[in-house]
Amino acid sequence: MAPPDYGYGYPDSDGEDEESVEEMAPPPDYGYGYPDSDSDGEEEESVEEKGRQWPPAPPAYGYPDGEDERPPYVLIDPCAYFADRDNATTAVCEMDGLSLTGRLKVTFCAVAPPLVSYFCVHATRMDHTEFPVTPYILATETDGGLVLLCVATRDGDHHSDFLRPRNCHYFVYDALSRKLDRLPLPGFQHRLNEPSLAIMRKPSKNTRSSPHPHGHGHGDAEAEAHHFVVAAQSYSFWRGKSPHLCIYDSATKTWSNKPVVMGSSYPEVHITGKTLTIGGSNGTVVWVDLWRNIVFCDVLVKRPKLGYLKLPSAPDMEPPFEGRSLRDIAVVGDTIKYVDMLPHPDVSPSLHWMATAWSIKKARRSWPKEWHMECKLDSTRIMVDAARTVATFPTSLSSLCVGLPTLSLQNDAIVYLLAKIDFSPSQHTAWVLAVDMENETAEQVVEFPAERTYCVAQGYDASRISAYLQPTPGTHQIPKRPGVPLLKSPSKKHTGDVDAMMA
C-alpha cells in the first residue's frame, strides 16, 4: 500500500543534497490534509459556506462493533479520521517526546466490500489542528495483521505546510496482540523511500507457518511470533553508488542498512507506486512501478539480489498522473494478479474504457511471457444489478469518471471501481462498484464519501487486516473460501447496456 504522495521519497524527487532532503514538500494535494490545499484558502471558505464539517466525521457504518463477522479482506481508506472511538480492535500507546504528547488511540472499523472500511485516531493531549495531515497507513502485511502508520507533526521552525523526516513518526499496529508500538526515528543515516516501505512478521524458528488469526502461543514462542521487520529502499536507491535497504528489526529495536546487488538487467526507470510482501523464509518484498515493472527483493537474506519482471502492458507514453488511478496489483495465493484500464479504442468520448485482468505465478519472477490474460471488461457492456444499487447512483455509468481499480483478494474476477461525477472533491457523492469482470456485471454499488479525495488516484486499497482484527465478543471470522464473493444479498441481474438498464 503506497502512502499519500508528499512529493518526497520517490527516486525522481527534487533535491539530492542533505539540505533539500530536510526541506520536505507540502502535504498531499488529494484533500487528505486540510482544505487549504488550493490557493488562497478558497476551498476553506467554500467548506464553511456549504456547512460541512472539517475534518469530516467518520462514516456511521462499521461502529461500534461493525458486522457480526469479520470479512477475510476489506477495502480500507489509508487516511485516518480524527475520532475518539473504542471497539474490540482499539489499541493505545504512549507518544510523549519529539513534538508528540499524550497517548495515541487507534481503532479499526471493518466492513465487507464494497463498503470502504476505515480507522480512527485520537490523541489524548493533542488537537487535530496540531497535525499537518491526518495520520495514514504506509503499509499492511500482505497476509497478516501488521499495519505501519505514519503520524506527522508540524515543525515549529518552518512553514506549517512543510514536513521533515524528524517530524514523521512511525507506529506499528499488531492486530494479533492488539498492540500499538512506536518505532524509533530512522535518522538521517537511514533515509528511506516511503512508498517502498513494507512490513512483515519474521519467520518463526519453531514453525514454518505464520501466526493464525487469534492464535495463542506460549512464552518465547509467542514473543517470537510477534517479531517483525520493516524494510524500504534507501532514499537514493536507484541513483546512488551504494544501493542499500533500510531495515528495522523489532527484536533488536534498531534500524540498520543492508547493501543489495542490483544485477545487470535492472530497469532504467523504476518509480515504486505500490509495495507488496510475499514473505516466506527470505522475506520477499515486491516493489511495483505500475506503469512499467516489478522488482523482487529478498530482504531477509544476507546479501539481497534484485529480480525484475516487466508488466504485461505499458502505455506508449507515461500519463501525467498516478498509475494507481488506472492499475492495481495484488498477491492471491501463489499468484500475482494485475489489472489495467485504458480508454476505449472504438468509443468516444474518453469516459468509456476497457479493463484487462492478468495473472502470473509468483515463482515466475523473470518470465514476462508467462503473464496470462484472464479476462477483459468493456465499460459499454457493464450490466448493473438494480436491486443492489443505491438510489443515488446515476442512470448512466458513461457519464461518470471511473478509476482506482482494486482487485479482490479472493480467487474470483471481482474488481472494485471508484466512480465520481467529476474529479473535484466534496461537492458530490462518489460510488464504489463491485464488478464481476467475467460476467460484465456491477453486482453491488454503494456510496463513498468523496470530500477527502481528488481525482480517482486514492481513496482505498485492499487489505487482509480484517481477518486478523480481534473479533467482537460472541462473533467469529468469515472463513476464507476462494471464489466466494462477499456480496451477501440475493442477486437479481439485469441484461442490456447500462444506459438501458438504469433508464
CA atoms within 13 A on the CB side of 71: 28
Three-state DSSP class for residue 494:
coil
At 241 the three-state DSSP class reads coil
Give the number of C-alpha atoms closer than 13 A to the C-alpha of residue 99, restricted to the C-beta side.
Answer: 18
Greatest C-alpha distance within the chain: 64
pTM for the model stands at: 0.83
The amino acid at residue 34 is Y
For residue 11, give the DSSP letter: T
DSSP conformation letters of 134-194: --EEEEE-TTSSEEEEEEE---TTS-TT---GGGEEEEEEETTTTEEEEPPP--GGG-B-G
Read off the C-alpha cell for 47.
Answer: 467548506
For residue 112, give the nearest of 414, 317, 369 by alpha carbon: 414
Residue 363, judged by CB atoms within 10 A of its CB (0-12, 13-18, 19+), counts as exposed
Instruction: Please give the Cα distance from 194 to 320 (Å, whole number).
Output: 21
Q: Which residues, in sequence order, are bridge partners of residue 418?
A: 403, 432
Q: Under a CB-based contact definition with an 8 Å cutoff, are residues 337 and 360 in contact?
A: no
CB atoms within 10 A of CB 39: 7
| List of residues 6+ apart from 241 with CB closer than 8 A | none
- Among all chains, which residue has been given the C-alpha cell 486478523? 468
8-state DSSP, 336 = E
Distance linking the first and last C-alpha atoms of the chain: 38
Mean pLDDT, contiguous 10-residue spans, the chain (503 residues):
46 39 36 33 41 77 76 96 95 84 94 96 90 93 93 71 75 95 90 94 67 54 74 86 92 95 83 93 95 94 92 78 93 95 71 92 78 94 89 84 95 95 73 96 92 84 94 57 37 35 33
Residue 352, phi then psi, degrees to nearest 5: -85, 145
Nine-digit cell string for 282: 527470505
| The C-alpha cell that represents 420 in the structure block | 465520481
Distance (Å, whole) CA 45 – CA 282? 52
Q: What is the pLDDT of residue 495?
A: 34
Domain extents in the chain:
18-472+492-502
Distance CA 247, CA 137 (A): 18
Q: Which residues of 105-140 are buried (b: 16+ CB within 10 A; e: fewer)?
A: bbbbbbbbbbbbbbbbbbbeebebeebbbbbbbbbb
* Angle formed at CA 171 by CA 96 and CA 15, multiple of 5 degrees: 95
Give the Cα separation of 145 and 469 in Å (integer).
7
* Cell numbers at 498, concatenated: 447500462
Is residue 307 classed as helix, strand or coil in its secondary structure?
strand
One-character DSSP codes across 194-224: GGG-EEEEPPPSS-SSPPPTT----HHHHHH
Closest CA to 78 of 32, 24, 124, 141: 32
- Which pLDDT score is estimated for 461? 96
- SS3 call for 93: strand
pLDDT for residue 306: 92
The pLDDT score that the predictor gives to residue 121 is 96
DSSP-derived secondary structure for 381-402: G-EE-GGGB-TTS-S-GGGSEE
Say how far residue 57 (Cα) sits from the centre of its chain: 21
Strand partners, 91: 106
Whether 470 and 175 have beta carbons less than 8 Å apart is answered as yes
Q: What are phi and psi of 430, to 5 degrees?
A: -110, 175
The three cell numbers locating residue 469? 482484527
Single-letter amino acid, residue 451: E
Give CA–CA dist 345/370, Å, rounded.
26
Is the CA virtual torsion 194, 280, 224, 175 positive or negative?
positive
